Amino acid sequence: MKAIFDTKPTSSYDDDTSQHYHFPRRYLATVEKCVGDWIILRRPRADGGDLAYFATAKVTAVKPDTSKAGMSYAFLADYLPFDAPVAWMSKGAYAEQALRALPKAEVGVYLRGRSVRLLDEEDFIVIVSTGLFQSLGDFPRVLAETVTNTEGEAEERIWRIETALTNRIVRDANFRRSVCLSYGHRCAISGLRITDHYGRSEAQAAHIWPVADGGPDIVQNGLALSATVHWLFDRHLVTLSDDYRITSHRDKIPQELRSLFVKEGEIIHLPAKREDWPNPKFLARHRELFRLREEPTSFALDVDQAATGYAK
């Protein structure tokens, strides 16, 4: 079954929105019903939250917290942040059927102690298709129309939107949009911001911890990089320290190219929002391969390859 999970950055619980959700015993029966299904994450009003739905993910397992009695973890997979937050109320109507069924004066009382609550599948479709409106635009047309069309069998529409949520076209479009926007469409390492006549950016979104190895599609696992720098980063010829300073295999990279980088040891160009900066645990994984991978005997930059996309 589908559900809403409320979470906030300053929560006293051990939440990691892309990896796991920490919760007390009173929610256990509800969370267990969600195993194998999708949930939506929402920010409550506490700590300045905007009461908006901001991401979706699939619950893969529920396990007790062995270090804290009465607590458990819901482990998450396929986390996907929305292109833009979705308001919990639109045109005077709540996004959740359970809330629409109540007098508005009683909604606040109802939500107390209900940070986890089941969600109607039709409401799931509306929230997700609204939150991923731009990313779904890059999904195959027929499927995108089926997802956003309000007509048709609910079961078929649910199947199609769940298919979209794990499709690499949708996820890559979502990741690139989020990362490049966060970095102002500027290469984090060279500082260059190049656009064409239509304002389309040259910057690409690079995963720090590759998806193929289990890395998540989140801004904190991404860097906006120009095509050539992306090529170097994916091959571990360039890496970053925990304080975002460049380290490179200088002998493998032509001086002409290195002259475009932020100087060795200096901090890269980072997003304006501190919460979007690269996560040190992802950088540590990248540095490990930078140090341990057997280095090639020669460096030859394939311009055609560097100018194209990268398989993750």
Amino acid at 216: P
d(CA 3, CA 37): 9
Per-residue burial over 214-245, b if 16 or more Cβ lie within 10 Å, else e, is ebbbbbbbbbbbbbbbbbbbbbbbbbbeeebe
d(CA 88, CA 185): 30
> Over the stretch 92-144, which tens digit does the pLDDT of each residue have?
999 999 999 999 999 999 999 999 999 999 999 999 999 998 888 756 554 54
d(CA 117, CA 131): 19
pLDDT, residue 250, reads 80
Q: What is the pTM of this model?
A: 0.81
d(CA 168, CA 48): 33
d(CA 270, CA 1): 39
pLDDT, residue 296, reads 43
Per-residue burial over 257-272, b if 16 or more Cβ lie within 10 Å, else e, is eeeebbeeeeebbebe
pLDDT, residue 200, reads 85
Burial classification of residue 70, based on how many CB atoms lie within 10 Å of its CB (0-12 exposed, 13-18 middle, 19 or more buried): exposed
pLDDT, residue 8, reads 87
Tokens of residue 241, six digits:
């320290």
- pLDDT by residue for the chain (312 residues), tens digit each? 999 999 988 788 999 999 999 999 999 999 999 999 999 999 987 555 678 999 999 999 999 999 999 999 999 999 999 999 999 999 899 999 999 999 999 999 999 999 999 999 999 999 999 999 888 875 655 454 555 555 557 777 788 889 889 999 899 999 999 999 999 999 999 998 988 888 888 999 999 999 999 999 999 999 999 999 999 999 999 999 999 999 888 888 888 888 888 887 789 999 999 999 999 999 999 999 888 654 443 334 444 444 444 443
Angle CA(47)–CA(128)–CA(150) in degrees, nearest 5? 135
> Quick one: how far is CA 74 from the chain centroid?
18
pLDDT, residue 283, reads 97
* DSSP designation for 263: P
Q: Where are the alpha helices (DSSP H) in 15-120?
A: 28-32, 97-100, 104-111
> Over the stretch 140-165, which tens digit does the pLDDT of each residue have?
554 545 555 555 577 777 888 898 89
d(CA 306, CA 227): 6
Torsion of CA 70, 53, 168, 184, to 10 degrees: -120
Name all domains of the chain by residue range, CATH numbers in brackets. Answer: 3-166 (3.10.590.10), 184-306 (no CATH)
Burial classification of residue 206, based on how many CB atoms lie within 10 Å of its CB (0-12 exposed, 13-18 middle, 19 or more buried): buried
Torsion angles phi and psi, residue 303, rounded to 5: -60, -40
